[in-house]
C-alpha cells in the first residue's frame, strides 16, 4: 500500500478513536467525510480526494496524474495516459491498434461512447481468412498483414480531446510526455521484462521489430535494459504537430501501408485516410438501483454485461455469498445464454442489425431466468441463441480516470495479441494490431479466443470486427460511482461483470474485488473456467450440478476507481506487475 493511503487510513482510524468533543463545536465545524474502510477488508485500495488515475503501468498513471494536478480534466488526463501507454506498455498500449472510450461529463450529466475500433481495409472479402480448403487459417487471421485493421487510436484520442477536453491543454501538450518517454527510453522491468520473452517468436520475425525490442546478442531486452523508441518519438511528434493527419496522411500513412504489404496485407492509403472514430450512445441498464453505462456494438461487452446483470438481478446473490457454488452456478448459466446470443446476433451495427434493446430488456432476461435450473447445469448444446427481436493472457489494457469535478473516463484499447502482430512499422516505430481475427472467419470456426460467430460478424470491407472490450461507468443518483474495465479477450465481459457484482452486490472495495478468484463460461467450449482460490468443496458442488470445472491461469487485469462521499478508492489488479493507482 502506498504511503498516502496508509496515512489516510491512519487518519480515519484516529478520527474514529478521537473522544467526542463539545457538540456545539461539532455542529459549527462539520467533520470532513472520512474514507469508508471496513475493518473486515483484507485488501485496501489507494485513496485520494481530488482525482485519480488507475492503469496497468505506473509511469503512465503518473503522466495522467500530472495532467490532473495541472488543471486538466479526466479526458485530458486519459488522452495523455493513452499516448504514454503506447510507449511504456507496448504489448497493449498503442497507436497502431484501437479501442473504446466512455466519457462521463459531470456538468451536463452526459455520457458518450467513443468507438475507435479498427476497420477492415476495403479489399477485405468474406473469405479472407480461409485457406484453399475453405477452412479457417490461423496463419492468415492472426499472423499475416491481412489481420491488420486500420488503426483507430489516434483518431479516438484526438476526438476525445477536441470534444471533451478542458481546453486548457493542446493535443501536443498531452502527447509531450509520451514523446519524452520514447526518446529518453524506459527501463525494462516489471511488465516489459515479464511479457517480452513470451512474445519473442512473434516479434523476432520482423527486422524493424528486432531493431527495437532485441539486444545485439539476438535476445529480447531483459530486466535492466533500456527500451529506446526514437522512431516512435518522431511519429508522436508528427501527430503533436499536425494532429491526426500526422498519422493518417503523409509519411506515416505511407510507412504503415508499406509495412502491412510487406506482411502480405492489402491496406491502401485511402483506407488509412478515410478512417473515422465514431461517437455512439452508450448501452444502458439498471442493476440494484444503479445505472450501468457501457460500450455498445461493435463491442459486445456492454450488451452482455447488462443482459447477464438483468438475469442475475432475480437471484439473491448477496445472501448466497460471493463465489459460493450457488452464485457461481447461476452466473455461469446466465453467461452461457449471453455468449450463445453473442455468436448469433452481434456485429458491427453499421452493417448488421443488432437487437440491443431486446438483448438488454429485463423481460428477455426473465425468459432466460426461467430456463435456469438451480440444481443442474444445462449442457451448452441445449442452449441455442434466443430471439431477442422483440483466450489467452491479458494483452489488452484498461485505464480509469476520475477528476475533481466528477468527470470520468473509462478506456479499453488493444493490439489484440500481446504486441499485436509483432510487426513494427519500419521508420515509424509503432506496433501493428492483428485485430481482424475478431471477425468470424466462417460459421463454426472459432477464433483465437474460441469465439464463434455468424453473418453479423463476417469479415467485410470497412467493417469493424466484434469486440468484447467493456469500459464501464456506474452512476448512482446521477453521479459517477464506479469506473472500471479489464483486458482478457472473450473473458472481458465476465471479468467486468464480476467486478460490478463484487462492488454493488457484495459490498467489496475495489482492492478486495481485484484479488477475488474469477470464473468464466462462454457457452463454447462447454466448460466453467476458474482461477485458483475456489475451495475444493465449492468445485465439488459445481461439478455435482454438472459443470465441467477447469482451473486455469489467471483471468484479467481490472483497473477500477470507486467514488463514495467525496473519496476515490482505486485498485490496479495485482495479477500483473507494475500497475499504478495514483491520486492526489
Q: State the Cα–Cα distance between residues 567 and 560, nearest whole angstrom.
A: 14
Which residues have CB under 8 Å from 283's CB, separation 6+?
293, 294, 295, 296, 302, 303, 306, 356, 360
Which residues have CB under 8 Å from 455's CB, separation 6+?
347, 352, 443
* Residue position matching grid coordinates 477528476: 403
Nearer to ligand DON, 165 or 489 (CB): 489
Nearer to ligand DON, 237 or 496 (CB): 496
The SS3 assignment for 473 reads strand
Q: How far apart are the first and last CA of the chain?
A: 15
Nearer to ligand DON, 5 or 468 (CB): 468
**Closest-CA residue to 487 (of 433, 557, 436, 419):** 557
* DSSP letter, residue 226: E
Q: State the Cα–Cα distance between residues 374 and 539, nearest whole angstrom.
A: 16
Residue 360 near residue 303 (C-beta atoms within 8 A): yes
Nearer to ligand DON, 240 or 338 (CB): 338
Q: Where would I find the H helices in 295-400? A: 301-312, 317-320, 325-345, 356-359, 362-370
Nearer to ligand DON, 509 or 557 (CB): 557
**Beta carbon of residue 436, minimum distance to ligand DON (angstroms, whole number):** 10
Nearer to ligand DON, 346 or 568 (CB): 346
SS (H, E, C) 20-37: CCCHHHHHHCCCCCCCCC
**Beta carbon of residue 199, minimum distance to ligand DON (angstroms, whole number):** 13
Integer angstrom CA distances of residue 490 from 38, 265, 395, 458:
33, 25, 12, 17
If one counts every other C-beta atom within 10 angstroms of the C-beta of residue 31, the result is 8
Nearer to ligand DON, 255 or 521 (CB): 521
**Phi then psi dihedrals of residue 453, to 5 deg:** -165, 170
Task: Tell me the DSSP string of 125-194.
Answer: -TTTTB-TTS-B-HHHHHHSGGGPPBP-HHHHHHHHHHHHS-SSS-HHHHHHHHHHHHHH-EE--HHHHH
Nearer to ligand DON, 295 or 428 (CB): 295
Nearer to ligand DON, 391 or 430 (CB): 391
Q: State the Cα–Cα distance between residues 427 and 39, nearest whole angstrom.
A: 55
**Beta carbon of residue 41, minimum distance to ligand DON (angstroms, whole number):** 28
If one counts every other C-beta atom within 10 angstroms of the C-beta of residue 530, the result is 24
**Beta carbon of residue 195, minimum distance to ligand DON (angstroms, whole number):** 11
* DSSP letter, residue 381: G
Task: Tell me the DSSP string of 86-118.
Answer: HHH-TTT--SSSEEEEEEEETTTTEEEEEEE--
Nearer to ligand DON, 301 or 429 (CB): 301
If one counts every other C-beta atom within 10 angstroms of the C-beta of residue 119, the result is 28
Nearer to ligand DON, 46 or 412 (CB): 412
Catalytic residues: 396
**Beta carbon of residue 459, minimum distance to ligand DON (angstroms, whole number):** 14
* DSSP letter, residue 376: S
**Beta carbon of residue 99, minimum distance to ligand DON (angstroms, whole number):** 8
Which residues have CB under 8 Å from 319's CB, separation 6+?
none
Three cell numbers written together for 288 = 440494484
Measure the CA angle with vertex 446, ends 440 and 452; round to 5°: 60
**Beta carbon of residue 14, minimum distance to ligand DON (angstroms, whole number):** 42
Q: Considering Cα of 140, then 422, then 489, then 163, what sign does the dihedral take?
A: negative
Question: Would you tell me which residues interact with ligand DON (CB under 6 A)?
Answer: 393-396, 414, 416, 435, 438, 467-469, 487-489, 492
Amino acid at each position: 500500500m502506498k504511503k498516502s493511503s496508509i496515512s489516510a487510513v491512519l487518519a480515519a482510524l484516529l478520527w474514529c478513536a478521537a473522544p467526542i468533543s463539545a457538540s456545539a463545536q461539532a455542529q459549527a465545524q462539520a467533520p470532513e467525510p472520512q474514507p469508508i474502510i471496513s475493518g473486515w477488508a483484507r485488501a485496501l485500495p489507494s485513496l485520494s480526494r481530488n482525482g485519480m488515475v488507475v492503469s496497468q503501468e505506473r509511469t503512465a498513471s503518473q503522466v495522467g496524474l500530472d495532467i490532473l494536478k495541472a488543471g486538466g480534466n479526466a479526458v485530458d488526463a486519459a488522452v495523455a495516459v493513452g499516448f504514454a501507454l503506447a510507449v511504456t506498455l507496448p504489448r497493449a498500449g498503442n497507436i497502431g491498434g484501437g479501442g473504446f472510450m466512455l466519457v462521463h461529463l459531470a456538468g451536463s450529466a452526459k455520457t458518450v461512447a467513443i468507438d475507435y475500433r479498427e476497420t477492415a481495409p476495403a479489399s477485405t472479402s468474406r473469405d479472407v481468412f480461409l485457406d484453399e480448403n475453405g477452412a479457417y487459417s490461423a496463419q492468415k487471421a492472426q499472423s499475416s498483414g491481412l489481420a491488420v485493421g486500420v488503426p483507430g487510436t489516434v483518431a479516438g484520442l484526438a476526438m476525445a480531446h477536441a470534444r471533451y477536453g478542458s481546453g486548457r491543454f493542446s493535443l501536443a501538450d498531452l502527447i509531450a510526455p509520451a514523446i519524452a518517454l520514447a526518446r529518453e527510453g524506459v527501463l525494462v522491468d516489471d511488465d516489459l521484462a515479464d511479457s517480452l520473452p513470451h512474445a519473442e517468436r512473434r516479434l523476432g520475425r520482423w527486422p524493424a521489430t528486432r531493431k527495437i525490442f532485441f539486444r545485439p546478442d539476438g535476445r529480447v531486452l531483459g530486466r535492466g535494459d533500456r527500451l529506446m523508441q526514437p522512431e516512435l518519438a518522431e511519429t508522436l511528434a508528427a501527430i503533436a504537430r499536425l494532429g491526426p493527419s500526422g498519422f493518417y496522411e503523409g509519411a506515416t500513412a505511407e510507412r504503415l501501408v508499406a509495412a502491412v504489404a510487406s506482411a502480405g496485407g492489402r491496406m491502401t492509403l485511402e483506407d488509412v485516410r478515410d478512417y473515422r472514430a465514431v461517437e455512439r450512445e452508450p448501452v444502458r441498464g439498471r442493476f440494484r438501483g444503479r445505472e450501468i453505462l457501457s460500450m455498445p456494438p461493435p463491442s459486445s461487452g456492454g450488451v452482455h454485461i447488462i443482459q447477464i446483470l438483468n438475469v442475475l438481478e432475480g437471484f439473491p446473490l448477496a445472501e448466497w455469498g460471493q463465489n459460493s457454488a450457488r452464485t457461481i452456478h447461476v452466473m455461469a448459466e446466465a453467461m452461457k445464454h449471453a455468449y450463445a446470443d453473442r455468436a448469433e446476433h452481434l456485429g458491427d451495427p453499421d452493417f448488421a442489425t443488432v437487437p440491443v434493446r431486446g438483448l438488454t430488456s429485463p423481460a428477455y432476461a426473465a425468459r432466460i431466468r426461467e430456463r435456469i435450473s438451480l440444481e443442474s447445469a444445462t449442457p451448452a448444446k441445449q442452449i441455442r441463441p434466443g430471439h431477442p427481436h422483440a483466450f489467452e493472457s491479458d494483452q489488452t489494457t484498461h485505464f480509469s480516470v476520475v477528476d475533481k469535478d466528477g468527470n470520468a473516463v473509462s478506456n479499453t484499447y488493444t493490439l489484440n495479441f500481446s504486441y499485436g502482430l509483432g510487426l513494427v512499422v519500419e521508420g515509424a516505430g509503432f506496433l501493428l494490431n492483428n485485430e481482424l481475427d475478431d471477425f468470424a472467419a466462417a460459421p463454426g470456426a472459432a477464433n483465437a479466443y474460441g469465439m464463434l460467430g455468424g453473418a453479423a460478424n463476417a469479415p467485410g470491407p470497412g467493417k469493424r470486427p466484434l469486440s468484447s472490450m467493456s469500459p464501464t461507468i456506474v452512476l448512482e443518483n446521477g453521479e459517477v460511482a464506479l469506473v472500471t474495465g479489464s483486458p482478457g479477450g472473450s473473458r472481458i465481459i465476465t471479468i467486468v461483470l464480476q467486478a460490478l457484482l463484487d462492488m454493488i452486490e457484495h459490498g467489496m472495495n475495489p482492492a478486495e474485488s481485484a484479488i477475488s478468484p474469477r470464473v468464466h463460461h462462454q457457452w463454447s467450449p462447454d466448460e466453467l473456467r476458474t482461477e485458483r482460490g475456489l475451495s475444493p468443496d465449492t468445485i465439488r458442488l459445481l461439478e455435482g450440478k454438472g459443470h465441467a470445472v477447469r482451473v486455469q491461469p489467471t483471468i484479467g487485469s481490472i483497473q477500477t476507481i470507486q467514488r463514495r462521499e467525496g473519496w476515490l478508492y482505486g485498485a490496479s489488479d495485482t495479477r500483473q506487475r507494475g500497475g499504478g493507482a495514483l491520486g492526489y
